[in-house]
Amino acid sequence: MEVGAPDYLAGERQTAEFDVESMKVTWAGSRHALEVSDRMARLVASDPVFRKDNRVMLSRKELFKNTLRKAAHAWKRIVELRLTEEEASRVRFFVDEPAFTDLHWGMFVPAIKGQGTEEQQQKWLPLAYKMQIIGCYAQTELGHGSNVQGLETTATFDPKTDEFIIHSPTLTSSKWWPGGLGKVSTHAVAYARLIVDGQEHGVHGFIVQLRSLDDHMPLPGITVGDIGMKFGSGAYNSMDNGVLRFDNVRIPRDQMLMRVLQVTREGKVIQSDVPRQLIYGTMVFVRQTIVADASCALSRAVCIATRYSAVRRQFGSQNGGPETQVIDYKTQQSRLFPLLASAYAFRFVSEWLKSLYTDVTEKLQRGEFSTLPEAHACTAGLKSITTSATADAIEECRKLCGGHGYLANSGLPELFAVYVPACTYEGDNTVLLLQVARFLVKTVSQLGSGKVPVGTTAYMGRARHLIQCKSNVQSAEDWLNPQVVVEAFEARSLRMSVACAENLAKFPNPEEGFAQLAADLVEAAAAHCQLIVVTKFFEKLQQDIPGKGVKKQLQILSSVYALYILHKHLGDFLSTGSITPKQGALANDQLRSLYSKIRPNAVALVDAFNYTDHYLSSVLGRYDGNVYPTLYEEAWKDPLNDSVVPDGYQEYIRPLLKQQIRNARL
Amino acid sequence: MEVGAPDYLAGERQTAEFDVESMKVTWAGSRHALEVSDRMARLVASDPVFRKDNRVMLSRKELFKNTLRKAAHAWKRIVELRLTEEEASRVRFFVDEPAFTDLHWGMFVPAIKGQGTEEQQQKWLPLAYKMQIIGCYAQTELGHGSNVQGLETTATFDPKTDEFIIHSPTLTSSKWWPGGLGKVSTHAVAYARLIVDGQEHGVHGFIVQLRSLDDHMPLPGITVGDIGMKFGSGAYNSMDNGVLRFDNVRIPRDQMLMRVLQVTREGKVIQSDVPRQLIYGTMVFVRQTIVADASCALSRAVCIATRYSAVRRQFGSQNGGPETQVIDYKTQQSRLFPLLASAYAFRFVSEWLKSLYTDVTEKLQRGEFSTLPEAHACTAGLKSITTSATADAIEECRKLCGGHGYLANSGLPELFAVYVPACTYEGDNTVLLLQVARFLVKTVSQLGSGKVPVGTTAYMGRARHLIQCKSNVQSAEDWLNPQVVVEAFEARSLRMSVACAENLAKFPNPEEGFAQLAADLVEAAAAHCQLIVVTKFFEKLQQDIPGKGVKKQLQILSSVYALYILHKHLGDFLSTGSITPKQGALANDQLRSLYSKIRPNAVALVDAFNYTDHYLSSVLGRYDGNVYPTLYEEAWKDPLNDSVVPDGYQEYIRPLLKQQIRNARL
Ligand SMILES: Cc1cc2nc3c(=O)[nH]c(=O)nc-3n(C[C@H](O)[C@H](O)[C@H](O)COP(=O)(O)OP(=O)(O)OC[C@H]3O[C@@H](n4cnc5c(N)ncnc54)[C@H](O)[C@@H]3O)c2cc1C
Ligand SMILES: Cc1cc2nc3c(=O)[nH]c(=O)nc-3n(C[C@H](O)[C@H](O)[C@H](O)COP(=O)(O)OP(=O)(O)OC[C@H]3O[C@@H](n4cnc5c(N)ncnc54)[C@H](O)[C@@H]3O)c2cc1C
Ligand SMILES: [Ca+2]
């Protein structure tokens, strides 16, 4: 905000009952994280190269070129200012535009780190770190996505030349979707079926050079291009998701990533002693980032909708006074505040996932693999439910802004368009929940055999209790007790999983049963994952959280999140008998009074995200609430307003108006 | 489909158990409607001016100009071919691009018809019919939307000159959003607070000329422009939603629409003997159209997702054979088939709404107003739930297409972007449900006084029974009985309304109670509206429906719709005790087996919508299922593929690759 400019939301900020600066620290994770984030946000916001208000007006080509410009400039600043990796990643975050660098740093480098041998890492990583090569992650094909084992691209070992021949045998085997592939990447980690001596050895990664480092032309045998426009106007269209065909492209043998499986000079295929489970580590890492991103996208949408709901007034004017702020309507609150609570919930669960990753990494180093399937199922499930909820929530926030939410400059349409693929990439959300369900059913089936469930499934060890316990909620107050809430969620989740297991047992063929009951299984998996989010939120509150009133607010938000989920999935809770209808009604009463408690803190709770106006890029979500004059000014910038009489008037409007119609039947 | 071209979905079409041509008639409403629709669809599809595959690549200005061109061309064809009004409206429908003509025909003309005196109609309608003037509907302002009574624009009568002075006193009083206003309209029906002799007389409509008919320049005192980019790339950006300010613009007194209220030469304000309820007629009409549009948009999305789900294969390959069609997965079915059923459900409820409109119109002519509030509540509610469900469903269909659904040429992103404002315009969906709730609570409160509820609330007359009845479902089969289903829905809806009424009674101040319980009230209203949809679907099946197997399919779909809603809102049914958990589980079992019955008919059921590939504008939804080669070909048309080395390489990529980095900390 400019110094001295009026703050139309000052009144809202005064009613806050907690210390916003302390909440910022809690949201950011640490004072250090807040400081870095704040500094990088300002760095980006103050640099004219990074302006983004013109995004939706650019043509595809201009948009893309502008992204190249930003990426180059960001890199320049990162190098000049000698930024740390943490700082650099915040810069990319605040530049806030999908770009080839996301895949280079986020997938290409990690793939080499995770799947390359020491030698390979030493050769390729320095080049990648200095961006002397630019890489992408080329797995998906036109005809094959979720089922990686179904990929058609082949990598055939040629013992004569000590090379692999990478080939696209069919149209459907064309690589399709990899970000950064279409126009920028010089290299790819491409996935292909390994064929040695006529034998197939599954799908593996290969480093393939795509373009000349001299003139950027595709190398012989490589056909590469962009796959075209995607959802939205700006959004993901700044990314060159690409198509790629290999016509018998030869690469040296040592460009197969060989950490797990090796092909020797002689054409022997050798399993290395590195455990395959290692890949779980990378997956936990990547999905943790996605959950963190969910909390960012969601909090951003909620920030916009909350501020605008405090600015927007509609109905209820008394004696010619101002109308009611729409944030005061209970319907608005019951749609908006659960999303605010979800943003905090996802934030803390992503924080916990970070620690899970550290834990998993340590265990891997110690050669302990037993808890990995649980960690893997848990991250898969959390990725699924947080991204689905966030996608829906962004659109709900847009609707909460009424007509003006439909304007591109509300920031919400493009946020939605750029966010939704998170439900699909890194595992389709339904496919992921099916994986979780498989794990849960297995866990349940092993309960009898004395196998103790670990981590987030530990509660299943108390199956005997949970299957028959009754909630002793007697008043709306009782629902503020985390233990009571958690037990209801545990009972619901356990009973759904057990019911699935029982129904599965009725099928002679378990796979057939799994296929038939898939929809129920997905619901059971979601219930389990919601329990995790609720639990981790409550666990966070066990910690020391400094700052006046901060913990109190988080307690309210944690209850809102839990009771909102309970209300939304009331059918589950009632049909499993985990709570009674009366208790459900009490939860709803409690929820209503919690909304009233949030109300005076709402704007401060979104201020705590510490987003700059640049990052928000929303006229409706402006920090100062000065919405209407800005909307009005912005309108005139549309190219359509270049002239008062539109281009096309002479050809298409005037003739219409001047036409003499004689014989129409209208 | 081209003659002789292979049909990759032929196998799917062979498994259909009903006559598709008959189903087309049922979907269209009549053989005549199908014939007209089919003929107009082909007319549009075969005309190169109406191509739309390039939409998302155009800049705003090009897009808009292209729309002007299409609108002019459509009009030319309409006149040349002497099309009927029905035919003309189908042409506009299939041109499938928001344009100023939508508002001219859909709002400007009806406003004059509905609110203008005979004299005014005779003067203005011929001009409008021949498009010698182009009009828009200017109600919403920058600061005022839902609350029409809060509009700030003034229309002050000047007895000296016998004129009204139309004025925008504040920035927030700027008209904002009217379609067709920004660049095209020569006239508007503008709404303003009538002020006569210093006295306010509420908000009324005024015909105001905005632009010169000679050179299209805004008239003195008029500031007008486009409000800028909206959601999506093509989508609604072909429309010039506009901003408009009046600086003491004078119009003759007879340009106030005076059917209901008149201002005389002497400045007397006279209520005419035309009943105010007349406006209900127009609202029922407009909302009926919106419900019909919902069924169109939904069926279009479902058609795309269904065909693609039959083409797409993922996992489950056995011995190297083809993978499983994703439509065979129960999760896919449980997400997709309810939407297919919803498309049919909304179709039939919109058909019924059409008859309701006729009924309402007749009653109005006979001076019978007693049933109007019920008709009004019912249409408001149906507008709300069908548009909300459709918006969500389009995005679900997009997700059902996996990664490829995210491509613009899947057709789904732009369909979503163009559709979602239907949740906001013609009444924000939450505000509408609150109106329905108010009506329901009133109906419940009057039950004691012997007032007999009518129309869609008639069931409330059986409150005594419904409040305590128990569903006697004992097997999954029982759920196929419409009476059983309807009773469960009636019990749920009635009990929710009664519970609201009882809770409201606890508040000393009813308005305060209404405000506090708003979220519950909205849920009760939605339950009531879902009951209407279910009932009207079943009622449709009472009719004679010709064609082999057609009725059977519709029976399956009606059960799917009902049981899907029941499953989705299980919490309502259980907490009101309308069904037991066991009965809920049986409903779910029935649902699963209904999905299996739909499966072999799925593609034929979407073929019955009779959409041309032009209208669908989706590579994934092509009639012939030839998806992959088309996706591949389309990709190369993106402007980014104009050159192999992208624009910006020299400036931004090459320097990055060639840079020598010494001092980075990364
Ligand atoms: C913006 C974006 C960026 C991407 N970036 C990259 C990248 O950089 N590199 C890369 O390699 N790929 C990338 N991808 C591809 C992405 O990883 C895939 O789209 C994703 O894995 C989903 O696979 P799919 O598209 O094949 O979906 P499909 O699997 O075809 O899904 C279609 C439908 O089938 C259902 N389905 C599939 N299998 C099953 C099953 N077994 N049981 C039940 N239902 C099932 C799904 O739930 C879904 O509803 C990107 C995609 C997008 C949209
Ligand atoms: C694409 C598009 C085309 C349009 N075309 C036209 C046109 O041609 N002519 C025209 O005049 N207008 C047009 N409009 C404007 C449209 O009619 C309004 O946007 C609509 O009426 C909603 O009003 P609003 O924007 O003021 O929303 P608001 O009322 O400001 O809604 C904001 C939020 O407040 C909530 N809210 C508001 N009132 C209450 C209440 N009493 N209780 C509880 N919650 C409440 C809403 O539920 C919503 O969540 C168009 C809008 C769009 C998006
Ligand atoms: Ca564009």
Ligand with the closest atom to the CA of B227: 2
Tokens of A116: 């390359």
Enumerate domains of chain B plus CATH numbers: 133-274 (2.40.110.10), 279-452+479-607 (1.20.140.10)
Ligand with the closest atom to the CA of A241: 1
pLDDT score at A274: 81
| pLDDT tens, residue by residue, A478-513 | 999 999 999 999 999 999 999 999 999 999 999 999
| pLDDT tens, residue by residue, B170-217 | 999 999 999 999 999 999 999 999 999 999 999 999 999 999 999 999
Ligand 2 contact via B231 beta carbon (within 6 Å): no
A12 is catalytic: no
Q: Which residues in B432-477 belong to E strands, given as ranges? A: none
pLDDT score at B279: 73
| pLDDT tens, residue by residue, B24-76 | 999 999 999 999 999 999 999 999 999 998 888 899 999 999 999 999 999 99
pLDDT score at B1: 54
pLDDT score at A273: 83
- Interchain CB contact of A91 with B (< 8 Å): no
Secondary structure (DSSP) of A378-421? HHHHHHHHHHHHHHHHHHHHHHHTGGGGGBGGGSHHHHHHHHGG
Roughly what angle, to the nearest 10 degrees, separates helices A372-400 and A278-311? 20
pLDDT score at A590: 98
Distance CA B403, CA B418 (A): 21
Distance CA A556, CA A552 (A): 6
What residues flank ion ligand 3 with Cβ within 5 A?
A 233; B 233
Cα A298 to Cα A336, A559, B580: the distances in Å are 11, 18, 37
Taking residues B458-464, what's their average pLDDT? 97
- Go through chain A and tell me how many residues it has: 666
pLDDT score at A664: 52
Q: Do A226 and B640 touch (CB under 8 A)?
A: yes
Ligand 2 contact via B424 beta carbon (within 6 Å): yes
The overall average pLDDT reported for chain A is: 96
- Which of A171, A233, A397 best probes binding to B when mutated, by most B CB atoms within 10 angstroms? A233
pLDDT score at A466: 98
Distance CA B120, CA B109 (A): 12
**Chain A residues closer than 8 Å to B71 by CB:** 652, 656
**Chain B residues closer than 8 Å to A635 by CB:** 225-228, 243
| Other residues' Cβ atoms within 10 Å of the Cβ of residue B527 | 24
Contacts with B, A 276-315, CB within 8 Å: 313-315
- Interchain CB contact of B322 with A (< 8 Å): no
Residues ≥6 apart with Cβ < 8 Å to A122: none
Q: Do A409 and B177 touch (CB under 8 A)?
A: no
Confidence of residue B2 (pLDDT cuts 50, 70, 90): low
| Other residues' Cβ atoms within 10 Å of the Cβ of residue A35 | 12
> Which range (A217-231, A276-290, A459-473) has the least confidence?
A276-290
Distance CA B492, CA B587 (A): 15
Distance CA A571, CA B117 (A): 54
Looking at ligand 1, which residue's alpha carbon is closest to its atom 40? A431
Answer yes or no: is pLDDT of B664 > 70. Answer: no
Which of B567, B638, B658 is the closest to A60 by Cβ?
B638
Q: Do B134 and A656 touch (CB under 8 A)?
A: yes
Ligand with the closest atom to the CA of A190: 1
**Chain A residues closer than 8 Å to B574 by CB:** 570-571, 574-575, 581
Q: Do B83 and A130 touch (CB under 8 A)?
A: no
Of A211, A298, A202, A293, which Cα lies nearest the Cα of A249? A211
Contacts with B, A 209-248, CB within 8 Å: 213, 215-218, 224-233, 236-237, 240, 243
Please tell me the distance in Å from A287's CA to the nearest CA on chain B: 18
Q: Do B434 and A584 touch (CB under 8 A)?
A: no
Contacts with A, B 448-507, CB within 8 Å: none
**Chain A residues closer than 8 Å to B97 by CB:** none
| pLDDT tens, residue by residue, B385-423 | 999 999 999 999 999 999 999 999 999 999 999 999 999
Answer yes or no: is pLDDT of A278 > 90. Answer: no
Tokens of A159: 């013992």
Cα(B57) to ligand 3 centroid in Å equals 6
Nearest CA in chain A to B323: A150
Which of B243, B335, B632 is the closest to A635 by Cβ?
B243
- Interchain CB contact of B644 with A (< 8 Å): yes
Which of B75, B428, B516 is the closest to A330 by Cβ?
B516
- B148 phi, psi to nearest 5 deg: -65, -35
Q: Which residue has the higher pLDDT, B376 or B282?
A: B376
Ligand with the closest atom to the CA of B244: 2
Which of B236, B628, B639 is the closest to A171 by Cβ?
B628
| pLDDT tens, residue by residue, A232-247 | 999 999 999 999 999 9
Per the listing, tokens 């009490």 go with: A586
Nearest CA in chain A to B589: A517
Answer yes or no: is pLDDT of A61 > 70. Answer: yes
Tally of CA atoms within 13 A in the half-sphere of B69 that contains its CB: 14
Distance CA B465, CA A534 (A): 41
Residues of B designated as active site: 426
- Which of A55, A168, A229 best probes binding to B when mutated, by most B CB atoms within 10 angstroms? A229
Ligand 2 contact via B232 beta carbon (within 6 Å): no
The answer to whether the beta carbons of residues B113 and B125 sit under 8 Å apart is: yes
Distance CA B611, CA B618 (A): 11
Contacts with B, A 57-86, CB within 8 Å: 57, 59-61, 64-65, 68-69, 71-72, 75, 78-79, 82-85
Of B402, B398, B399, B345, which Cα lies nearest the Cα of B605? B345
pLDDT score at B340: 99
Q: Do A228 and B638 touch (CB under 8 A)?
A: yes
Taking residues B556-563, what's their average pLDDT? 98
Tell me the percentage of chain B whose pLDDT exceeds 90. Answer: 92
Confidence of residue A1 (pLDDT cuts 50, 70, 90): low
Confidence of residue A665 (pLDDT cuts 50, 70, 90): low
The closest-lying atom of ligand 2 relative to the alpha carbon of residue B181 is 8
Q: Do A588 and B520 touch (CB under 8 A)?
A: yes
Nearest CA in chain B to A586: B575
Distance CA A266, CA B430 (A): 70
Among A12, A426, A487, A490, the one annotated catalytic: A426
Answer yes or no: is pLDDT of B665 > 60. Answer: no
| pLDDT tens, residue by residue, A312-348 | 999 998 888 899 999 999 999 999 999 999 999 999 9
Cα A43 to Cα A100, A293, A404, B307, B378: the distances in Å are 21, 21, 30, 49, 54
Which helix (H) or strand (E) segment is B49 a member of? Answer: none
Ligand 2 contact via B176 beta carbon (within 6 Å): no
Which of B413, B656, B661 is the closest to A231 by Cβ?
B413
- Interchain CB contact of A661 with B (< 8 Å): yes
Q: Which residue has the higher pLDDT, A320 or B467?
A: B467
Test site for ligand 1: of A431, A438, A517, most ligand atoms within 8 A of the Cβ:
A431
Distance CA A248, CA A256 (A): 16
pLDDT score at A2: 62
**Chain B residues closer than 8 Å to A637 by CB:** 228
pLDDT score at A3: 66
Regarding an ipTM greater than 0.95, the answer is: yes
- Interchain CB contact of B410 with A (< 8 Å): no
Taking residues A525-533, what's their average pLDDT? 98
Distance CA A54, CA A63 (A): 9
